[in-house]
Amino acid sequence: MADNRFKCPKCGADLEDLWDGEPVSVFIGEWSEDRFRCNGHLIKPVPYPQASEQSAVNRTKSCGYFGLEVLGVECQE
């Protein structure tokens, strides 16, 4: 699910929020350093129209994973 509140700090693309919203999550927590993933920008014209626009083959390279601290959000107790 794309979280349009945040943009990639490197390329400005939308970020995908990988946290499931549970207070205690086994894999990704609210303050995990790898909570958000950059999916890159859609390439136009779409090189592989048979694939989804969300498919990696139709997007630029990902910039990686980011946490809330990298995105400038301050922790509130």
3-state secondary structure of 58: helix
3-state secondary structure of 16: strand
* CB-based burial label for 54 (10 Å; 0-12, 13-18, 19+): exposed
| pLDDT tens, residue by residue, 51-68 | 999 899 999 999 999 999
Of the CA atoms within 13 Å of residue 63, those in its CB half-sphere come to: 16
What integer pLDDT is reported at residue 9 of this predicted model? 95
Total number of domains in the chain:
1
| pLDDT tens, residue by residue, 2-33 | 556 899 999 999 999 999 888 777 788 888 99
| Domain carrying residue 75 | 1-77
CA dihedral angle for residue 54, residue 57, residue 58, residue 60, rounded to 10 degrees: 100
